[in-house]
A and B are shown apart, each in its own frame.
Chain A
Amino acid sequence: MPNLIIDGKQVEVPAGTTIIQAADKLGIDIPRYCYHPALPVAGNCRICMVEIEKQPKLQIACYTPVAEGMVVKTNSPKVIEVRKSILEFLLVNHPVDCPVCDQAGECKLQDYYMEHGQYDSRLSDVKVKKEKKAFSIGPTIMLDQERCILCTRCVRFTDNITKTHEFGMFSRGDHSQIDVSKQLDNDYSGNVADICPVGALTDKDFRFKCRVWYLAQTKSVCPGCSMGCNITVEWDKSRPHQHKKARVMRLKPRHNPDVNDYWMCDKGRYNYHFIDDNRIQHPQLKDDFVSWDQATDTIVTVLKSIQKSNNTNRIGVLASAQLTNEDLFVIRKFFKETLKGAMVDFRVPEGPGEKDDFLIKADKNPNTAGASSILQADADAGEIVQKAKHGEIDLLYVFGHDLVKLFGKETVEQIAKKVKLFVYQGSNVNATCSYAHLNLPSSVYAEKEGTFTNCQKRVQRIWPAFLPLGEAKGDWEIISLLSAKLGSPMTYQNSQAIFKDIAATMAPFTEMSYEKLGDKGMLLK
């Protein structure tokens, strides 16, 4: 393994590593536009040039492999001079209209100009006019050719990652432009806005909605399917009066080389409006809002009478693989241990969804693997619903499922008539809510701390971005309220305490902890 020195720091890296990779390993940030670690090297922006001892010309760090004994300088006067000149060239035809550009604040031209440019303009020419400004190139993305610095990241993304080949570089010289040969309409189109270092490709869903400096970032995992792509929830931290009070502005993929690399699908990316829209905000008994105390009393009264008559097998629970491992552990503890004999399952007949051979999985739940290993369900969801329909169940407790969509309106009407208490606990309003006797508002994933287990059996953490909306509570908190009222209080202060218990009692989770899971997760044993 070659040893080299970059800016006085020694590093040992495998042969074939490029200088920019070695510098990244040392935490030395070499400026870059065209280089992206997940794409083939193009070497066209020339901003990453560094000085290598004993070489007369500067070399591009993104393409030059390291060699034993190499001494690299990333901040010598020569390097700084060239970096300035490259920025100057890139800005020759780039409109400096940052105040009206949506990329401002996360634009690499702005950033590097402030860090490395700062020269007096030598331009006295009219800039080259290009044809397409604010031009729609597909359902998700807008193109501005004048803002483009022709790094070709988008071209390489659609050539090498999606292999859909929409983008190309056309014309010559300073009339060169990026354009599409067909509509940019693939399942991963939103990623091109992420990798575009400037304001040439912007996301229709996000543009002009919120300046990026108002955004807070919270690490999370996409709940859209069992892949569990690592994401960042970006939300407006300081202006709750904006955007009809919506908090989440966009989702961005978060790098995890073992799961989604740098990418996420469009379905997942734009699937965040439910976090703020159409939420159940208050406990509701029939037509009336009630307090949490009244709501839980209602359930506990029914549970007590069931316990009294030794009819715990007349409790049906439809848990969900949308819940966290912690939620499911508490559900199991309450319904299968405290209330021995209750029928619990999470596997509702949803049918497989769309899938591909990249990130999109047919199972649209983020925690099926976790639900299987934690719940160890021995009942059958279909049977529970049938029993409820025929009045063979006294309490039906549903977590988030839309039974109307799954089993039909008539079945749910029957259930509402036959079952003593029909509880719906979920975050959003659906058709089932109007039939349930009691609706309980629960948190969405962005309001929760916990873990999901993806299809690779990787346990990954999610973090709460903000407080639950309205009176909503975490699913496990609601169950632990019930447990306390029933006389078996649980001692969990937070989800970390639950996870500790999971790790201590369930073999596949042995030796796991929130600290150990970190950002990237751990595989089940």
Chain B
Amino acid sequence: MEKIVSRHFGQKNSHRLENYLKDNGYEAARKALTQMTGAQVIDEVKKSNLRGLGGAGFPTGTKWSFIPQANPKPKYLVINADEGEPGTFKDKYILEQDPHALLEGIIITCYAIGSHKAYIYIRGEYIKSLEIVQAAIDEAYKGKYLGKGIMGTGFDIDVVVHPGAGAYICGEETALLESLEGKKGFPRLKPPFPAVVGLFGCPTVINNVETIACVPPIINKGAEWYAKLGNEKNGGNRLFCISGHVVKPGVYELPNGTTLREIIYDHAGGIPNGRKLKAVIPGGISAPILTPDQIDVKMDFDSLKSIGSMAGSGGIIVMDDTTDMVWAAMIAARFFALESCGQCSPCREGSGWVYRNVKRLNEGHARPHDLNNLPGIVNNIGGNTICAFGDAVTMSVGSYVSKFRSEFEAKIQERVCQI
């Protein structure tokens, strides 16, 4: 299988410009800038079926086409490198091992949407990534791939790196914009969407790192080639991050639509020590948990949605039969309670309430009504909040209760863990 985004991973000094140039580096950008119009670039990306790989899976070319070209305000591209979803660590690899692929994607995207300034919002804890990306930007400025009149064309572009300050919610695109503007990371009310009123009130495209890193190969080899790699509505490959109880955890680039079973057993080496699979989160902690009978699902946005979960950020967390699911639910609930931004009431008060409830269940101090109330409380959060965080609490914590209810009941009845 041909690797695309991860093609340079593991090569010595793959983050250096000289090595990137050896592999046709920045030729896609040159092609876009010299042979294509912005509209042609957008068309090509639309045809490639590239979908947002941060988790929402929105068609990328369509998103770009929402930028109102008649708007006299400056337009911005913002790269979401906040990668905070537990179980997800793919963007870190791109940032550290192939930063020039991201920069080339940025150039092409900015050209397509008529922007001359891009921000890369990098998770604050990614100190090494920050340094490597900044070094790559410096190299690119020196080599005239960034700055004024890049690569001998008339196109100007500036790229700025901005470190986050440690809030999961700043991965939500409008909270990210608030944070980038120097404010507290609170998601915005929508509409207006960022394409119309985004950063500093200007039209803005926000894309995930991996999404943008896919753009140069699409321009180089054409939309048809890319679209064929995936399945019907999900073009290309995807980076899957697999962690937890597997023999070979790590980042794997695989075509969209590879089954979860293949990923766990063929690529990640299966469950260690001959244990059995008990549960798996398919797309970061926000995605509803799956049971072993569901792992023949194809790992793409639509297939996972059809079985009531989601592809999310591609973070697969595998749990074997030694896992206490009430404890796992508590870990998830604690994460949401700690990371709720506190802006709207159901999520602010509900996430803490749910966590304390699950914690009590886990510690064997709960009474039957605690468990009986839990699904109702959890359901009252989702759908009633400003951003999708509330939905994540509902879907994630709710799935542990509905799929492993007997374990919760056992904790109440016997006040001991069954495992």
Contacts and interface: CB of A to CB of B under 8 A. Distances in A.
A125 interface: yes
Interface in A256-312: none
Contact of B353 (A58, A89, A150): A89
From A49, A82, A125, residue with most partner B Cβ within 10 Å: A125
Interface string B348-359: 111111001100
Given A85-B384, A128-B352, A174 B344 contact: no
B349 A93 contact: yes
Given A44-B343, A175-B342, A63 B352 contact: no
Interface in B52-90: none
A52 to B, nearest CB: 14
A90 B345 contact: yes
B101 to A, nearest CB: 34
Contact of A43 (B344, B349, B356, B369): B344
A524 to B, nearest CB: 43
Interface stretch (B30-38, B110-118, B285-293, B333-341): B333-341
Nearest to B365: A124
A244 interface: no
Main SS class of interface, A: loop
A86 interface: yes
Given A46-B385, A82-B384, A150 B350 contact: no
Given A125-B357, A172-B167, A174-B351, A86 B345 contact: yes
B328 interface: no
A169 B348 CA distance: 13
Contacts of B357: 125
A45 interface: yes
Contacts of A44: 343-345, 386
B189 A174 contact: no
A57 B383 contact: yes
Nearest to A128: B352
Contact of B346 (A43, A46, A93, A168): A46
Contacts of A124: 360, 367, 369-370
Contacts, number: 92
Contact of B350 (A89, A128, A172): A89
Contacts of A174: 337, 340, 342, 348-349, 351-353
B346 A122 contact: no
B184 to A, nearest CB: 7
B384 A86 contact: yes
Contact of B377 (A45, A47, A122): A122
Contacts of A82: 380, 384
A131 to B, nearest CB: 15
Contacts of B380: 82, 85, 88-89
A173 B337 contact: yes
B352 A85 contact: no
B369 A122 contact: yes
B323 interface: no
B41 to A, nearest CB: 34
A41 interface: yes
A92 interface: yes
Contacts of A93: 349, 352
A149 interface: yes
A183 interface: no
A125 B356 contact: yes
A85 B357 CA distance: 17
B384 A176 contact: no
B345 A149 contact: yes
A513 to B, nearest CB: 46
B373 interface: yes
From A46, A82, A93, residue with most partner B Cβ within 10 Å: A46
Given A124-B360, A171-B342, A173-B342, 16 more contacts: A41-B189, A43-B189, A43-B386, A46-B344, A46-B384, A63-B189, A89-B350, A89-B380, A90-B349, A122-B369, A125-B357, A169-B184, A172-B338, A172-B342, A174-B353, A176-B342
24 contacts: A41-B189, A43-B344, A44-B344, A44-B386, A45-B345, A46-B344, A46-B345, A46-B385, A49-B384, A63-B189, A86-B346, A89-B353, A93-B349, A122-B377, A125-B360, A128-B352, A169-B342, A172-B167, A172-B338, A172-B340, A172-B342, A174-B337, A174-B352, A175-B342
Interface of A: 41, 43-47, 49, 57-58, 63, 82, 85-86, 88-90, 92-93, 122-125, 128, 149-150, 168-169, 171-176
| Closest A-B pairs by Cβ, 10 of them | A176-B342, A174-B352, A85-B380, A89-B349, A173-B340, A92-B349, A44-B344, A125-B356, A43-B189, A122-B373
